[in-house]
Chain A
Amino acid sequence: MSPASGPAAVSGNARVISCLDVDAGRVVKGVNFVDLADAGDPVELAARYDQQGADEVVFLDITASSDRRETTVDLVHRTAEEVFIPFTIGGGIRAVDDARRLLRAGADKVSVNTAAVSRPELVAEIAGEFGSQCAVVSIDARRTHGGAFPFEVFTHGGRTPTGIDAIEYAIRVTELGAGEILLTSMDRDGTRDGFDLELTRAVVGVVNVPVIASGGVGTLDHLAEGVVKGGADAVLAASIFHFGAHTVAEAKAHMAAAGIPVRPADA
């Protein structure tokens, strides 16, 4: 399967994705990836989101290092026993073997970030071996404020600039076989000011694979905006769900009221 890049085609039912940032087997979510606060057991939380009607769960292993890799495999293993909606795992995936271990343990998709920036062929290798449907490329982007291009790719949890044009990069990885783009605005992440809709639109406009908008959700309106104004196929949020500000059911009802087709939370 080689999804072509190009303008977006007809979109379908929007997905609401709950994101769990995981460190050493525990869920954390920080403001701009600093000041982390513990919000519980990832498997329990994921199962709760499944029951609440979330369409997917994403685990981002934000401090993945080689000595912790077995913890992550174990997390995936346990999740597959309790969670019957799709789940993605990202963080520390540098080679096809890393992807294989996580998929074998029960993950549906793997998300690559830093390793794909250093070596984009990794995307082609994962897509070639396991299919594009499980090859998610996570792009952390920041505005350049008057640079040669509008948005720049950052790596290492948003700390390291790369000098790479985020829009060009999205096209490139899609051509290499990425089946989905998880697009995070590092300017907005943790701010609760809403998605960077310009960034979302810019990427949605150039690739023909699903785009997940991420970074900045503070209200239910923000989720609806991501789809209606940003053109995203899916919206991802963490804090608003974790700390009980809103349930997934409320999010879906709100989106449906805004005219967005979604799977009802009680379906």
Chain B
Amino acid sequence: MSRPLIAVLDYGIGNLRSAQKGLERMGADARLTADSGLIADAAGVVLPGVGAFGPCMAALGRTGLDDRARAAAASGRPFLGICIGLQLLYEGSDEAPGMSGLGILPGTVRLLAGGVKRPQMQWNRLEVRTRIPMLAGLGGAWVYFVHSYAAPMADNVAATCDYGGPVAAVIADDNVWATQFHPEKSARPGLRLLENFVDQARSAAAVAWRAS
């Protein structure tokens, strides 16, 4: 089987290497990169991340990766946001009032409500709402969350976890996938999700190649 090229967007913040290693383990040629050519050629693009919305968004802007991320999402190629990489896809966040997000998805990321400890730093169980390829093999799976903010509940929320009420755990909006949890830190189920993404990127690349 081919090893599809996956561009893991490198904006110099925190631990981005684990996502790259997880993707490699599941059959991808994963590169940590900010290079526009490589990102344009990739079969799939991953926006990983740890940290705070403001500094991450600023780093994306500094490196020009904000425009490259928007272009990749608009290209129809498989796109995966992870943790803060999910939150950055929205228009903004309570964490950085007045700062614009990537605006790829509508709405604002909100502080976790309802008398819960913040951050949610624990393993929690996925409740699947929409059966999609991304979640193949992940029904009821335990995955690792670290976050204090969450995406708005909408039709594109494909799975939730329970933390003082349902919290958006997985987003699937056409080619744009995103997880609030860290698949690269979620043992077997997390690696399975990365494998699902690599498979998706491989098939999408094959379709694009036949069409060209």
Contacts and interface: CB of A to CB of B under 8 A. Distances in A.
Given A131-B51, A134-B50, A263-B123, A85 B185 contact: yes
A253 B51 CA distance: 33
A18 to B, nearest CB: 13
Q: Is the interface of A mostly helix, strand, loop or mixed?
A: loop
A133 B147 contact: yes
B204 interface: no
Q: Is the interface of B mostly helix, strand, loop or mixed?
A: mixed
Interface in B76-126: 84, 95, 114-124
Interface residues on B, range: 35 or more
Interface in A56-106: 77, 80-81, 84-86, 103-106
Nearest to A53: B187
Contact of B122 (A12, A107, A267): A12
A37 interface: no
Contact of A130 (B18, B50, B141): B50
A210 B148 contact: no
A10 B117 contact: yes
A177 B18 CA distance: 24
Contact of A13 (B21, B122, B182): B122
Nearest to A54: B187
A12 B21 CA distance: 29
A208 B116 CA distance: 9
B121 A134 contact: no
A105 B121 contact: no
Contact of A84 (B84, B124, B187): B187
Nearest to B122: A12
B170 to A, nearest CB: 17
Contacts of B44: none
A80 B121 contact: no
Contact of B121 (A10, A77, A210): A210
Contact of B187 (A15, A50, A77): A50
Interface in A129-164: 129-134
A55 interface: yes
B167 to A, nearest CB: 11
Given A104-B15, A106-B21, A130-B50, A267 B121 contact: no
Given A84-B184, A267-B141, A209 B117 contact: yes
Nearest first, the 6 closest Cβ-Cβ pairs linking A and B are: A131-B51, A263-B123, A267-B142, A263-B142, A106-B17, A12-B122
16 contacts: A1-B52, A1-B119, A10-B115, A12-B116, A12-B122, A53-B187, A85-B185, A104-B16, A108-B185, A128-B55, A131-B14, A132-B148, A133-B119, A210-B122, A233-B117, A233-B122
